Amino acid sequence: MEHQGKYQKIKTYYFGLLSTLTEDSWKIFESLLSIRTIKKGDYLLREGKICNHVSFVNHGLLKIYYEVDGKEKIIAFFKELTYCCDYASFLTRESAETAIKALEETEVVEINYEGLQHLYNLVPEANMIGRRIAENLFIEKCRNSSNNVTEGVESKYQKVVTETPWLIQRVPQYMIASYLGITPEALSRIKARNSKKTVVAAAQY
């Protein structure tokens, strides 16, 4: 059966998140899902459009970013087994200030806005899932802004290196710089300074 497990990953994810979810609720949910593939370099969402889907990344990698006077400011990366969405646009039904673009060949499982409202109506427990998702997104966003306010650029970079080493492997450095809110040149200098420090430290022995 070819379709066996088409939605396996998101199903596992959900049952993990919420142990009380029933097989029946899942069937309804499943009926509202669809699959989309995005080629490297293509858009999942263009700036100015209303984000009409919540997408669960089966595999691949995407970036969400603002474009401000010609330069892109990356807010976040979405890798496999995470949600990918401009949730603010999705919820408010206002046009997105962001764009979402695939950095690798990507496959997502999607539910659209009407589908999700439908789900909330048919399956009241889904409100609890929706609540949890919104809460987690909020917590994540708080952690991010907290970092931006309380930490210097240097330690932010260190955090990326130690906490999300896969990022360093999978995206070019100038995108990391954009994500950190600095220019590629500035990041290059930070790295140079650090490796000098290491050399000096090593020379102590």
Partner DNA sequence: TTGTTTTATTGATTTGGGTTAAGGAAAAGC
Partner DNA sequence: GCTTTTCCTTAACCCAAATCAATAAAACAA
Q: Virtual CA dihedral for 126, 131, 132, 134, nearest 10 degrees?
A: 120
Least CB distance to DNA at residue 107 (A)? 20
Other CB atoms closer than 10 Å to residue 14's CB: what's the count?
A: 16
Q: Report if residue 121 touches DNA, rule: CB under 7 A.
A: no
- # residues near DNA by CB under 7 A: 18
Residues in contact with its own copies by the rule CB under 8 A: 66, 68, 73, 75, 87-88, 91-92, 97, 120, 124, 127-128, 130-131, 134-135, 137-139, 141-146, 148-150, 181
Least CB distance to DNA at residue 26 (A)? 39
Please identify, using beta-carbon distances, which residue of 111 and 180 lies nearer to DNA.
180
* Centroid of chain to Cα 202: 38
Residue 122 binds: one of its own copies, DNA, none (C-beta under 5 to 8 A by kind): none
Residue 13 binds: one of its own copies, DNA, none (C-beta under 5 to 8 A by kind): none
Q: Report if residue 192 touches DNA, rule: CB under 7 A.
A: yes
- CB of 113 closer than 8 Å to CB of 91: no
Please identify, using beta-carbon distances, which residue of 103 and 116 lies nearer to DNA.
103
Which stretch, 26-34, 55-63, 137-145, 179-187, contacts DNA (CB under 7 A)? 179-187
Q: Using a CB cutoff of 8 Å and minimum separation of 24, what contacts does 170-178 make? A: 170/61, 170/79, 170/103, 170/104, 171/61, 171/63, 171/77, 171/103, 175/63, 175/74, 175/103, 178/65, 178/71, 178/72, 178/73, 178/74
Q: Report if residue 74 touches DNA, rule: CB under 7 A.
A: no
Q: Report if residue 187 touches DNA, rule: CB under 7 A.
A: yes
**Residue 120, token pair as written in the block:** 């909330």
Query: Binding DNA by CB under 7 A: which of 16, 152, 199, 202?
Result: 152
Distance (Å, whole) CA 150 – CA 40? 35
Distance (Å, whole) CA 90 – CA 95? 9
Q: Report if residue 185 touches DNA, rule: CB under 7 A.
A: yes
Other CB atoms closer than 10 Å to residue 199's CB: what's the count?
A: 9
Please identify, using beta-carbon distances, which residue of 68 and 203 lies nearer to DNA.
68
| Interface ranges with DNA (CB under 7 A) | 152-154, 172-174, 181-192
